[in-house]
Amino acid sequence: MAFSEFRPLDEKSLIEYIKAVPALYSKLGNNLDDLKVQEVGDGNLNFVYIVVAPGGSFVIKQALPYIRCIGESWPMTKERAYFEAVALKEQGRLSPEHVPEVYHFDRTMSLIGMRYLEPPHIILRKGFIAGIEYPLLAEHMSEFMAKTLYFTSLLYRSTTEHKRDVAEFCGNVELCRHTAQVVFSDPYKVSQYNRWTSPHLDRDAEAVREDNVLKLEVAELKSKFCERAQAFIHGDLHTGSVMVTRESTQVIDPEFAFYGPMGFDIGAFVGNLILAFFAQDGHADQVNDRKVCPLF
């Protein structure tokens, strides 16, 4: 079964699709007996299926032409799957131990087949909320960031390679615009999709909206985000884009990747660590009082 046009898959048509694609079918030992397909709809943007058979496993991620968690009212190019596939391959080449392998990419179907990060891998944010410590996390994430940022910057590459890839990822403009809006614009004004714990944080949200010095600083950062093609950045490197066990750290979901300022990745990740640290109190219970929890 080959598709000449984009078609959203469901659990049934997905099985037909797998059967027609040797790169996927062979990962299951060419045998669909006792196949289990599970849609894990906790993503914000895409449909994600976990496919497990006795002979093997993988994950299928399909992008639809809108943001899943908001609906068709916020359209978003399904070409983001193309940029995600290129990013996964490039980051995987530079930091293979911390990026899941891509088995298959279908541009027409906006579909990526990649390694299933089996249990006990969980999303890092959930691990932090559960109070789990990750002794290797700092080393792994430093390695991922150092390798993917340094080796795609002009500190390492020729201007020819650099400008070629900058040009290609200029095509990911829709997702960059989304980031610019939700990171550098919306939080500082009244905006439809803003959310905070109300009424407890109403005054804090208002204080942010009225801080003109802060807004000038943020405008400066926004212009760097839009203009400075320093290195190939992940673009969405928060604790929801990392899956972990105590031994393994895997960076996923680079659909927002483009050539931008290194500080955007580094700052987003460190900022999320700080948020997780200060949220520990709120997750304390009798089993784990979180008083001596370094986390990372």
Residues that bind a second copy (CB under 8 A): 154, 159-160, 162-164, 166-168, 170-171, 173, 176-177, 180, 223, 226-230
Provide, rounded to whole angstroms, the least separation between the CB of residue 229 and a second copy. 5
Is the separation of the CB atoms in 153 and 100 below 8 Å?
Answer: no
Closest CB to a second copy among residues 57, 153: 153
Minimum distance from residue 228 beta carbon to a second copy (Å):
5
Question: Given the complex with a second copy, which of 156 and 196 has the nearer CB atom?
Answer: 156
Most distant pair of Cα atoms in the chain: their distance = 62
Cα distance between residue 117 and residue 243, in whole Å: 8
Q: How far is the CB of 83 from a second copy (least distance, A)?
A: 13
Min dist. Cβ of residue 221 to a second copy (A): 13
Eight-class DSSP state of 182: I
Residue whose structure tokens are 């714990």:
197
Query: What pairs with residue 38 in β-bridges?
Result: 50
- Residue closer to a second copy, measured from CB, 89 or 228: 228
Token output for 64: 């639809």
Q: How far is the CB of 222 from a second copy (least distance, A)?
A: 9
Minimum CB distance to a second copy smaller for 227 or for 285: 227
The phi-psi region of residue 79 (left if phi > 0; otherwise alpha if psi is between -120 and 50; otherwise beta) is alpha
Residue 113 or 260 with smaller CB distance to a second copy = 260
